Amino acid sequence: MNSASLIAPCGMNCGVCMAYLRDKNHCPGCWGADKNKSKSCVNCRIKNCSELKSKFCFSCKKFPCELITHLDKRYRTRYNMSMIENLNNIKKLGIKKFVINEKLRWTCPKCGGIICVHRGCIKCGKWKI
């Protein structure tokens, strides 16, 4: 969960995604091989964007584009996480500090388990962001 390689171009921390955290058909994260990824992840328009010239969308002259804005709205509404905020924090703090902060943010204060952005704590099942 605490690896810079698990941070997608859109700012998603793949280390807290239910597809990454599941035991069966474990997704390797956005930057990993396409095996076990959902079709939507393989065909992700953000990851495959022709405008993406660096590792993260914040460096694009169109940031935040319509794709990021739509994804951000969905995640803020459903999961209380902002991709735009994540990308701005990566830009401001650097990826190392961002990853350290993510580890703290997504660790369950009750049991120390990983909090899945989609489902809550995978260990005790109680805590949600």
How would DSSP label each residue in 46-85?
TTT-TT--SSSGGGSTT-S-HHHHHHHHHHHHHHS--HHH
What is the count of structural domains for the chain? Answer: 1
Q: Mean pLDDT, the chain, as a whole number?
A: 90
Query: What confidence score (pLDDT) does residue 129 get?
Result: 61
Query: What confidence score (pLDDT) does residue 64 get?
Result: 94
Nearest Cα residue to 117 out of 5, 4, 38, 6: 6
Looking up tokens 């969960």 gives: 1
Output the pTM of the full model. Answer: 0.89
Split at pLDDT 50, 70, 90, the class of 26 is confident
Instruction: Quick: pLDDT tens for 63-108.
Output: 999 999 999 999 999 999 999 999 999 999 999 999 999 999 999 9
Domain contains 129: no
Domain contains 126: no
Domain contains 56: yes
User: What residues make up the domain containing 97?
Assistant: 4-121
Helices (H) then strands (E): counts for the chain? 5, 2
